[in-house]
Amino acid sequence: MRTGPAVGHEGIFHEAAFYASDEEFLAVVLPFLQGGVAAGEPTVSIFGGHRQQLIRTALGAGSDVVFIDGGAHYRRPAAAIRRHREMLAGYVAGGATQIRITGDVPHPGVGVPWEWWARYEAAANEVYAEFPMYGLCPYDTRTAPLEVLDDVRRTHTHVVTADGQRQRSATYHAPRDFLATAVATVPDPVEARPPGCELSDPLPAHARAAVADLQRVAALGEDELNGLLLSVSEAVTNAMIHGRPPVRVRAWAEPSRIVVAVTDGGPGPADPAAGLMPAGGPGGLGLWMAHQLCAYVSLWRDADGFTIRLIAENPTL
């Protein structure tokens, strides 16, 4: 049975909250968590250090809330979706009729590009739809940029305020509409420089070799480099099999970082959620892999065709 605002709802009940102080944050999150625990529902809190500590202190010891470190959990949306789905399936198999999860995804206010998290927030409405999930996503209006807050209203069906007022989001977009039109890609600063290598219609092996050569400048960790090479190979393969010529690979390197853009003349994947889930149409699995193996992945379409930009960087950066 669903409880709280999700009574009578099927699938994910996706709610956003906006706060501007620790008190407002707790005013929204505590009732959410306490309501879940009181109803005997699996109740999960996924925040980084300060906010997680606020909650722990407020709830005291032995609260029955499951705490997961948000920093590691929200590093890559495809990995977060995979873990959430495994967790949700496990709780449902254990008999749960509602699972409450609250957490905050990163955005430029905390130094992380918004693009793939915007895609995550939109896709969440589909990729968790098969589960009785009640998700609460609090955003700090002191740090989140206006365009992020705008996207949050467009990707959450409901908004709750610190005084407990709850309403449907007037600007909510169907996920597919949002994903197809609303996600803006921000150029990476290195793209303003001439690329360290540029290839036309390369074989996957040639693209891998050219990118591996940039390791002289980047000195990436072994996993970071291998993850990038796997992703570059998949991107070039997708471009050859599913895209249209010409296929162009450009790559830029700086210490601890390599950026690779693979462009083909085609329209790109038809599924706007491609990359976030292992399905996702032709080439979807390779895209999904890249989303888990790279530090950041961007997708865009322009007059040149479809581009996937893969970024690998050492985690200390």
Residues at the site binding other proteins, with contacts judged by CB under 8 A: 203-205, 208, 222-223, 226-227, 229-230, 233-234, 237, 240-241, 285-286, 289, 292-293
Task: Give the residue with the Cβ less far from other proteins, 159 or 207.
Answer: 207
Task: Give the residue with the Cβ less far from other proteins, 166 or 206.
Answer: 206
Task: Give the residue with the Cβ less far from other proteins, 226 or 256.
Answer: 226
CB of 226 to other proteins, least distance (A): 4
CB of 273 to other proteins, least distance (A): 18
Question: Which residue in this structure is represented by tokens 């939109």?
Answer: 122
Contact in structure between 295 and 312 (CB atoms under 8 Å): yes
Exposure pattern of 14-38 as b/e (b: 16+ CB <10 Å)?
A: bbbbbbeeeebbbbbbeebbbbbee
Backbone angles phi, psi at 189, to 5 degrees: -55, -35
Task: Give the residue with the Cβ less far from other proteins, 110 or 205.
Answer: 205
> What are the start-end ranges of the H helices in 128-184?
146-155, 175-181
Task: Give the residue with the Cβ less far from other proteins, 98 or 231.
Answer: 231
Q: Which value, in Å, is the radius of gyration of the alpha carbons in the chain?
A: 21
DSSP run (H or E) holding 257: strand 257-264
CB of 290 to other proteins, least distance (A): 10
**What is the C-alpha to C-alpha distance for residues 118 and 155, in angstroms, rounded to an integer?**
8
Task: Give the residue with the Cβ less far from other proteins, 183 or 293.
Answer: 293
**What is the C-alpha to C-alpha distance for residues 267 and 176, in angstroms, rounded to an integer?**
16
CB of 18 to other proteins, least distance (A): 35
CB of 171 to other proteins, least distance (A): 35
Contact in structure between 19 and 28 (CB atoms under 8 Å): yes
Closest to 173 in 3D by CA, of 124, 138, 113, 109: 124
CB of 275 to other proteins, least distance (A): 13
Contact in structure between 291 and 212 (CB atoms under 8 Å): no
Task: Give the residue with the Cβ less far from other proteins, 182 or 203.
Answer: 203
Q: Is 224 helix (H, G, I), strand (E, B) or coil?
A: helix
CB of 73 to other proteins, least distance (A): 17
Task: Give the residue with the Cβ less far from other proteins, 24 or 224.
Answer: 224
Q: What angle do CA 309, 315, 317 make, to 5 degrees?
A: 85
- What is the greatest pairwise CA distance in the chain? 61
CB of 173 to other proteins, least distance (A): 30
Contact in structure between 257 and 218 (CB atoms under 8 Å): yes
